[in-house]
């Protein structure tokens, strides 16, 4: 992508509405534009990141054996009346009346719909287990949307639903998802902390929430330091669930089961939540299968959510500095940015284009900053949008056949010979 052809409206001053750092940076970096309270347009740069995160979530779901489908945003009230949640959900549910006077709603979650889909096609224990997910926009009419995309009213969520014959099997599905969640967040460069959680309005009796560490996080976490250094290849959900972790209002210093040496205290942001809720919805919505003995039994269900759009903000909260965003490589909108300080200089233009074409040809996501503007603006914009590797090309260095390469993750730069640049980047990006 050439910057001159892209749509990347960076701004120097964030609007006074924006309060937290990720919100400010997302606006300044031209990632989002607010449309109304808690509702945002995703501009090209923001969309690239959102899609990256979505894709990682998708791949890890698929790896864990979940199957993707897509349910609508607009639902009829019928199923919600059956499940009893049409009234329970209250004002947080956006209700809509269609032209023929039917009561519709913009889905805040999908337990009802998925259970209905399941029950109309699955009748035998032989078809179990099943685990279905979708990545779809949700709407919850929060009393107080805030913090940009971290707490929007409209938000993109991955939610999936597991169906099992009995509690024992359901716990296996639960643990399977538990493990997939840890892997998903680690892949994004984050440190996930899993906590035993209240089940809330979804109901049920087993639940964990997943927070990621960020200095600016909303909640204070107390946890076993072993949770910080997990190897995604060797996760044992049962063992992990036994490690101590609590949010501040649950933490009790006197009764804390682990030693002070093992206890860590950090700030976190909730990005995922999983529930096992047994037969709560299958009972009400007739999701029964015949077991071996021919008896009709309600299936045991779990549901699992990841806030995809929230993660964009959460990752920025975890990775930024005073100059802007520092994207982890896996979610970065571009891997490499070629910053041509002097587009009007023939040598700079030629060299920049040479690199650009190489990266394009080799499917390394690259943005070429070919704008004609002051050097300071160019450098600071690039710091703001936080591309992991920035190749800075200027007349001065190029005379000596040098280019500067800046690693935005640790802000270290070095000058290397222009002929070794391609090898340098390849070594960094190909593992």
Partner RNA sequence: CGGGGAGUAGCGCAGCCUGGUAGCGCACCUGGUUUGGGACCAGGGGGUCGAAGGUUCGAAUCCUUUCUCCCCGACCA
Q: In this complex, which beta carbon is closest to RNA, that of residue 66 or of residue 202?
A: 202
Q: Please identify which residue in 65, 129, 203, 394 interacts with RNA, judged by CB under 7 A.
A: 394
Rounded CA separation 81/118 (Å): 18
CA 50, chain centre distance (Å): 7
Work out whether 17 is an interface residue with RNA (CB under 7 A). Answer: yes
Q: In this complex, which beta carbon is closest to RNA, that of residue 137 or of residue 288?
A: 137
Q: What are phi and psi of 306, to 5 degrees?
A: -130, 130
Of 272, 269, 40, 25, residue with least CA distance to 153: 40
Q: In this complex, which beta carbon is closest to RNA, that of residue 79 or of residue 405?
A: 405
Q: Please identify which residue in 42, 89, 155, 355 interacts with RNA, judged by CB under 7 A.
A: 155
* Contacts to RNA from residues 261-280, by CB under 7 A: 270-273
Render 9-71 in DSSP notation, one character per residue.
---SS--TT--SHHHHHHHHTT-EEEEETTEEEE-HHHHHHHHHHHHHHHHHHHHTT-EE---
**x/- string (CB under 7 A) for RNA, residues 119-148?**
---------------------x-xxxxxx-
Alpha helices in 195-272 (DSSP H): 237-242
Work out whether 334 is an interface residue with RNA (CB under 7 A). Answer: no
Minimum gap (Å) between residue 275 Cβ and RNA: 8
Minimum gap (Å) between residue 299 Cβ and RNA: 22
| 319: three-class secondary structure by DSSP | coil
Work out whether 218 is an interface residue with RNA (CB under 7 A). Answer: yes
Rounded CA separation 392/291 (Å): 66
* Contacts to RNA from residues 195-214, by CB under 7 A: 198, 200-202, 209
Residues binding RNA (CB under 7 A): 10-17, 19-20, 34, 36-38, 91, 140, 142-147, 150-153, 155, 157, 198, 200-202, 209, 218, 270-273, 305-307, 309-310, 323, 341-342, 344, 373-377, 379-381, 383-384, 392-398, 402, 404
């Amino acid at each position: 992508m050439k910057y001159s052809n892209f749509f990347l409206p960076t701004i120097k001053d964030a609007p006074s509405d924006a309060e937290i750092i990720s919100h400010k940076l997302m606006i300044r970096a031209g990632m989002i534009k607010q449309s109304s309270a808690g509702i945002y347009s995703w501009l090209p740069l923001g969309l690239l990141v959102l899609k990256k995160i979505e894709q990682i979530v998708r791949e890890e779901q698929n790896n864990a054996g979940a199957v993707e489908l897509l349910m609508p945003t607009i639902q009829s009230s019928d199923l919600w009346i059956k499940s009893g949640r049409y009234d329970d959900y209250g004002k947080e549910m956006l209700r809509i009346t269609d032209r023929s006077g039917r009561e519709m709603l913009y889905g805040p979650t999908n337990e009802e719909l998925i259970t209905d889909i399941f029950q109309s096609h699955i009748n035998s224990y032989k078809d179990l287990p099943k685990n279905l997910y979708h990545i779809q926009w949700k709407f919850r009419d929060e009393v107080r949307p805030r913090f940009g995309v971290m707490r929007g009213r409209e938000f993109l969520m991955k939610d999936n639903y597991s169906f099992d014959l009995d509690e024992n099997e359901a716990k296996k599905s639960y643990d399977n998802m538990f493990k997939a969640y840890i892997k998903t967040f680690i892949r994004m460069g984050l440190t996930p902390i899993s906590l035993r959680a209240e089940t809330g309005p979804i109901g049920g009796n087993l639940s964990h929430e997943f927070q990621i560490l960020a200095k600016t996080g909303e909640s204070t976490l107390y946890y076993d330091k072993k949770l910080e250094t997990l190897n995604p290849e060797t996760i044992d959900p049962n063992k992990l669930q036994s490690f101590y972790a609590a949010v501040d209002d649950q933490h009790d210093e006197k009764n804390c089961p682990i030693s002070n040496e093992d206890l860590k205290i950090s700030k976190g942001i909730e990005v995922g939540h999983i529930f096992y809720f047994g037969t709560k919805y299958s009972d009400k919505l007739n999701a029964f299968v015949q077991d071996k003995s021919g008896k009709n039994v309600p299936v045991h269900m779990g549901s699992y959510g990841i806030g995809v759009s929230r993660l964009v903000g959460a990752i920025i909260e975890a990775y930024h500095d005073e100059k802007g965003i520092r994207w982890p490589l896996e979610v970065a909108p571009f891997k490499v940015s070629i910053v041509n300080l002097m587009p009007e200089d023939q040598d700079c233009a030629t060299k920049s284009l040479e690199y650009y074409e190489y990266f394009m040809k080799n499917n390394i996501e690259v943005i070429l900053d070919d704008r004609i503007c002051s050097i300071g603006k160019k450098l600071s914009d690039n710091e703001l949008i936080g591309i992991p590797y920035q190749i800075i090309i200027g007349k001065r260095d190029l005379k000596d056949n040098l280019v500067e390469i800046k690693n935005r993750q640790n802000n270290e730069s070095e000058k290397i010979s222009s002929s070794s640049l391609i090898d340098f980047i390849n070594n960094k990006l190909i593992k």
